């Protein structure tokens, strides 16, 4: 009897599985592995947020079912945060929902608005869930190339007309994982006009919106005139506030998309754990700008600690503009999978081959800045000495 659903046959994690197996083998041989693969924050939430968690856990009322849409306190705090940080106005009751992390929401949103046979426009390279969510809902993913010569922005005019006729949803992600680029407001204005013209919904994944470097800021898609008419934006707590384990995010924007998402979520889950929502509320209310400034400084210093040895070794590098990642060309146009495997075997430093994020990622690799500065410098020296 065939156990796995046929839809799973088109979903591959071969690149990641291969490297995970190799890391396990090396550790069994007592090799010190510096894992810069998965972008899981290595620092906890702020101390006052940890205290808020503990206080909430002592309240017996938090162990009941939560509401699908989220508590009033959390939704009002999130709406206030959007206004204070990005000058975005949303109704906390009709234009904002709490969700169990951005990745969870990405699939549920597709279930809510996309039918089998529709097309979902996704960046290439991109976070793998963008393609996976299309395949899981029976849609066709269409890859929009992100290339350095176009500042890692998709060329909307290059999308074929037959694809546009079937396209229902466009997923964007700026600052971008893995390419670390920031989109200007003018690009979002073009997206809104394009979405209106072709009757396409827009989902902007803003997971890294606060992790910008060198004085840059990243605009909110929702700050674009007309954005709420065509789309929504996801704001994750995982990277900005180190909530990767607790799983918390919110979706804001178009009320019809959120109503559809609410229907899906109300039949699948009962919302975010109340203790997590309470801690999230405190996070957004109690001087989040101080924590955000700290996190930006942390990752910018880590970026520099990793890149400086490579600069000195003569590597041609464009510094990451944002996110918690470094996106590098492989030396001598080396296959990204070969590079990552060779690096791991020879030095114990783990990264992700760019091809794991899509065909346009070939000849690049991604390093996650999830170790202290001295460890990152050590790792970069190993890279530099191995590929001279």
The residues, ordered by sequence, that sit 6+ positions from 163 with a Cβ below 8 Å of its Cβ are 119, 121, 142
Give the DSSP per-residue string, 334-375. Answer: --HHHHHHHHHHHH-EE-EEGGGG-GGGTTEEEEE--S-HHH
Question: Is residue 348 a contact partner of residue 382, using CB atoms and an 8 Å limit?
Answer: yes
Contact assessment for residue 99 and residue 265, using Cβ atoms and an 8 Å cutoff: yes
Segment 342-351 shows an average pLDDT of 92
Q: Which runs of consecutive H residues, i.e. helices, occur in 174-225?
A: 185-198
CATH class of this structure's domain 6-44+290-386: alpha beta
Query: In the prediction, which pLDDT does 295 show?
Result: 96
Strand 201-205, strand 167-172: pairing: parallel
Tens-digit pLDDT profile for residues 240-254: 999 999 999 999 999
Residue 170 scores a pLDDT above 90: yes
Residue range 276-286, pLDDT digits in tens? 999 999 999 99
Two tokens at 368?
């996650």
Whole-number Cα distances in Å, 220 to 32, 138, 223: 40, 30, 5
Residue 27: predicted pLDDT: 82
The answer to whether residue 31 scores a pLDDT higher than 90 is: no
- Per cent of the chain over pLDDT 70 is 99
Q: Cα(239)–Cα(261) distance, rounded to whole angstroms?
A: 23
Give φ, ψ of 235 to 5 degrees: -120, 115
pLDDT at 332: 87
pLDDT reading at 191 higher than 70: yes
Asked if residues 124 and 179 have their Cβ atoms less than 8 Å apart, the reply is no
The full set of domain ranges for the chain reads 6-44+290-386, 47-287
pTM of the model: 0.96
Least confident window among 1-10, 97-106, 287-296, 357-366 = 1-10
Distance, CA of 130 to CA of 207 (rounded, Å): 13
Helix 373-386 to helix 336-347 angle (10° resolution) is: 110
pLDDT at 248: 97
Provide the pLDDT confidence category of residue 16 given band limits of 50, 70 and 90.
Answer: confident
pLDDT above 80 (res 175): yes
pLDDT at 270 over 90: no
Looking at residue 14, its pLDDT comes to: 64
Task: Check the CA dihedral 179-182-186-191 and report its sign.
Answer: positive
Q: How far apart are alpha carbons 330 and 336 in whole angstroms?
A: 7
214: left (phi over 0), alpha (psi -120 to 50) or beta: left
SS3 171: strand
Q: In this predicted structure, what is the pLDDT of residue 114?
A: 98
The architecture of the domain spanning 47-287 is: 3-Layer(aba) Sandwich (3.40)
pLDDT for res 17: 75
Instruction: Name the nearest CA neighbour of 342 among 373, 374, 312, 382.
Output: 382
Mean pLDDT of the chain: 94
At 77 the pLDDT is 98
With 90 as the cut, is the pLDDT of residue 366 above it? yes
Number of residues that make up the chain: 388
- Bridge-partner residues for 120, per DSSP? 141, 169
Using alpha carbons only, give the angle 243, 218, 368 rounded to the nearest 5 degrees: 50
What would the two tokens of residue 314 be?
């003569």
**178 within 8 A of 366, measured Cβ to Cβ:** yes
Beta strands of 237-342 (E only): which ranges? 249-253, 325-329
112/100 Cα distance (integer angstroms): 16
Residue indicated by tokens 């050590």: 378
Question: How do strand 231-236 and strand 249-253 relate by DSSP bridges?
Answer: antiparallel
SS3 (DSSP) at 249: strand
pLDDT over 90 for what percent of the chain?
A: 87
Specify the 3-state DSSP secondary structure of 321: coil
With cut-offs at 50, 70 and 90, classify the pLDDT of residue 302: very high
């Amino acid at each position: 009897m065939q156990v796995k659903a046929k839809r799973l046959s088109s979903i591959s994690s071969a690149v990641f599985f291969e490297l995970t197996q190799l890391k396990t083998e090396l550790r069994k041989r007592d090799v010190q592995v510096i894992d810069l693969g998965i972008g899981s924050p290595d620092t906890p939430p702020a101390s006052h947020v940890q205290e808020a968690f503990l206080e909430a856990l002592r309240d017996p009322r938090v162990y009941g079912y939560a509401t699908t849409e989220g508590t009033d306190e959390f939704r009002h705090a999130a709406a206030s945060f959007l206004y204070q940080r990005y000058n975005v106005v949303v109704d906390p009751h009709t234009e904002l929902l709490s969700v169990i992390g951005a990745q969870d929401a990405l699939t549920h949103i597709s279930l809510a608005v996309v039918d089998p046979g529709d097309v979902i426009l996704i960046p290439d390279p991109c976070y793998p869930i963008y393609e996976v969510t299309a395949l899981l809902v029976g849609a066709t993913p269409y890859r929009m190339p992100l290339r350095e010569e176009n500042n890692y922005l998709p060329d909307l005019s290059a999308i074929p007309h037959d694809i546009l006729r079937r396209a229902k949803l466009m997923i964007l992600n700026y600052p971008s994982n893995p390419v670390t680029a920031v989109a200007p407001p003018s690009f979002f204005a073009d997206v809104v006009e394009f979405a209106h013209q072709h009757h396409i919904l827009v989902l902007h994944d803003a997971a890294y919106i606060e992790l910008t470097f060198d004085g840059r800021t990243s605009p909110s898609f929702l700050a674009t005139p007309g954005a709420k008419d065509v789309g929504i934006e996801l704001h994750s707590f995982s990277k900005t506030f180190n909530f990767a384990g607790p799983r918390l995010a919110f979706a804001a924007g178009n009320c019809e998309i959120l109503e559809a998402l609410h229907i899906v979520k109300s039949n699948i889950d009962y919302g975010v754990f109340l203790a997590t929502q309470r801690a999230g509320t405190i996070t957004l209310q109690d001087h989040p700008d101080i924590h955000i400034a700290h996190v930006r400084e942390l990752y910018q210093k880590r970026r520099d600690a990793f890149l400086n040895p490579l600069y000195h070794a003569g590597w041609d590098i464009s510094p990451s503009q944002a996110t918690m990642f470094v996106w590098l060309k492989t030396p001598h146009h080396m296959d990204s999978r070969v590079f990552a495997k060779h690096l791991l075997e020879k030095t114990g430093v783990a990264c992700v081959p760019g091809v794991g994020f899509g065909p346009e990622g070939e000849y690049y690799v991604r390093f996650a800045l999830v170790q202290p500065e001295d460890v990152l410098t050590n790792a970069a020296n190993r890279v530099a000495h191995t590929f001279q």
